[in-house]
Amino acid sequence: MSFALGLTGSIGMGKSTTAQMFVEEGCALWDADAAVHRLYSAGGAAVESMQDAFPNAIVDGAVSREALKKAIASDPATLKVIEGIVHPLVAADRAEFRKIASADILVFDIPLLFETGGDAAMDAVACVSIPAEEQKRRVMARGTMTEAQFEQIRAKQMPNDEKCARSDFVIVTDTMDHARAQVQNVVRQIRAEMADA
């Protein structure tokens, strides 16, 4: 019997780095963004349905995220259609991972875990967190988006304080060493709980 740990956190909080720390502790990782990437790539499960709904979004046999972004920008209702296609496929991908993963702790890296109600399927949730100023500094340092784009993404996500309050564990990612120590502590606690169960 494995333990399902949801891992969440807003943009720039250090979730991907923290997810890898769980892998280093022997946990199996399912990454929602990577699953979407698989579904969208050439031969991926989402390509055919997307082609039917958005023929212009298919480039070289794969779904173009850029084309989808443009479609959403011109008509926000497009997002609901995309989610209707992608969410069931992502859920199937996650269920398949759950079936085949052999680790004792399965970590589900899902940025919008609470927003989509995915926390209900988890045994516990860990949220990565840093102060808002540091979050903004990290995202801006990537140089991949404008301040307005960052604020737009942050506005769509549940406030960090609320995510932390709803989580079983909060991992502060101020330094690598501190984050790693907290990850090790979470893994230790879960394994101790499983041993007692």
List the one residue out of 177, 85, 155, 164 whose CA is nearest residue 131: 164
- Cα gap 93→48, rounded to integer Å: 16
Query: Within 10 Å of residue 94's Cβ, how many Cβ atoms?
Result: 19
> Same domain, yes or no, for 117 and 64?
no
Q: Among positive and negative, which fits the CA dihedral 106, 99, 91, 86?
A: positive
Contact at 8 Å (CB) between 106 and 120? no
pTM: 0.91
Residue range(s) defining the domain that contains residue 38: 33-102
- Looking at residue 87, which CATH number applies to its domain? 3.40.50.300
> Same domain, yes or no, for 23 and 116?
yes
Tally the domains of the chain: 2
Q: Record the tokens describing residue 152, joined without a space.
A: 């737009």
> Same domain, yes or no, for 62 and 22?
no
> Same domain, yes or no, for 41 and 136?
no
> Same domain, yes or no, for 119 and 192?
yes
What residues contact 137, with CB distance under 8 A and at least 6 apart?
A: none
Reading the chain (197 residues) residue by residue, the pLDDT tens digits are 899 999 999 999 999 999 999 999 999 999 999 999 999 999 999 999 999 999 999 999 999 999 998 998 899 899 999 999 999 999 999 999 999 999 999 999 999 999 989 999 999 999 999 999 999 999 999 999 899 989 988 888 899 999 999 999 999 999 999 999 999 999 999 999 999 97
